[in-house]
């Protein structure tokens, strides 16, 4: 049985130990909060480039299929596929904004068509629109038809070599295209297409278009 003096001494020792424990606990809490904040920051930064819309459209060439009017080429008489992505940007200006496309085509076997374009002079704004074309003969070769059937489209936005955001037509929040073997060369940039002279003002400015004119 402790005497009153011994109990008092024990209590003083206990309280003194708490003086060291409290700062340690506070430091741990602050460290944890800082780490949590650091984890949230990159997610907030990713809102700088936010995908708003991904759409598949048909694009009809001029009737006749060419300057001669003979229309002998089937690609001039059937619709091409036009893939559009709309996104918002927060930085005042941005360059080297690469948009990567993944188009999963059905048919006898699933084929993942891939392509990309890189944009410059991207000003802070809503409703930036970028796009890629698919030649109708690509659809017929890989899908067996030029009529639009099942297509899933995924899009990634890369900023100076870093993945910033991604989305797809089904809003799965998953990069499902990573499980397929990519088939490059099946998508066409706007400036590579025969429609570039009439569409240059509808989409963001590709750095490849600029480099060809230098």
Q: What is the CATH number of the domain that holds 208?
A: 2.60.40.10
- Distance, CA of 126 to CA of 49 (rounded, Å): 10
Beta strand extents in the chain (DSSP E only): 49-59, 80-94, 97-105, 111-119, 122-134, 151-159, 162-168, 182-184, 188-189
pLDDT in tens, 163-199: 999 999 999 999 999 999 999 999 999 999 989 988 9
Q: Name the token pair of 82.
A: 């036009």
3-state secondary structure of 126: strand
Element (H, E) at 207: helix 207-213
Residue 103, domain extent: 46-62+73-213
Positive or negative, the CA dihedral 50, 117, 63, 72 is negative
Residue 25 included in any domain: no
Residue 67 included in any domain: no
Residue 54 included in any domain: yes
| pTM listed for this prediction | 0.73
Instruction: Please report which confidence band the pLDDT of residue 94 belongs to, taking 50, 70 and 90 as the band edges.
Output: very high
Instruction: Count how many domains the chain has.
Output: 1
For tokens 């049985």, what's the residue? 1
Q: Is residue 144 pLDDT above 90, yes or no?
A: no
């Amino acid at each position: 049985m402790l005497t009153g003096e011994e109990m008092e001494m024990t209590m003083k020792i206990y309280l003194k130990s708490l003086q060291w424990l409290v700062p340690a606990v506070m430091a741990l809490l602050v460290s944890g909060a800082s780490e949590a904040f650091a984890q949230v920051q990159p997610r907030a930064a990713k809102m700088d480039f936010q995908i708003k819309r991904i759409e598949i459209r048909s694009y009809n060439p001029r009737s006749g299929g060419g300057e001669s009017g003979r229309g002998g080429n089937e690609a001039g008489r059937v619709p091409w596929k036009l893939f559009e992505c709309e996104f918002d940007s927060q930085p005042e200006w941005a360059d080297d904004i690469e948009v990567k496309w993944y188009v999963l085509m059905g048919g006898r076997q699933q084929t993942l068509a891939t392509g990309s374009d890189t944009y410059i002079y991207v000003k802070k704004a809503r409703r930036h629109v970028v796009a890629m074309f698919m030649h109708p003969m690509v659809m017929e070769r890989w899908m067996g038809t030029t009529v639009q059937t099942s297509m899933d489209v995924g899009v990634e936005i890369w900023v100076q070599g870093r993945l910033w955001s991604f989305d797809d037509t089904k809003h799965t929040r998953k990069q499902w295209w990573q499980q397929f073997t990519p088939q490059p060369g099946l998508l066409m940039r706007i400036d590579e297409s025969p429609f570039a002279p009439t569409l240059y003002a509808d989409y963001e400015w590709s750095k490849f278009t600029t480099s060809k004119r230098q």
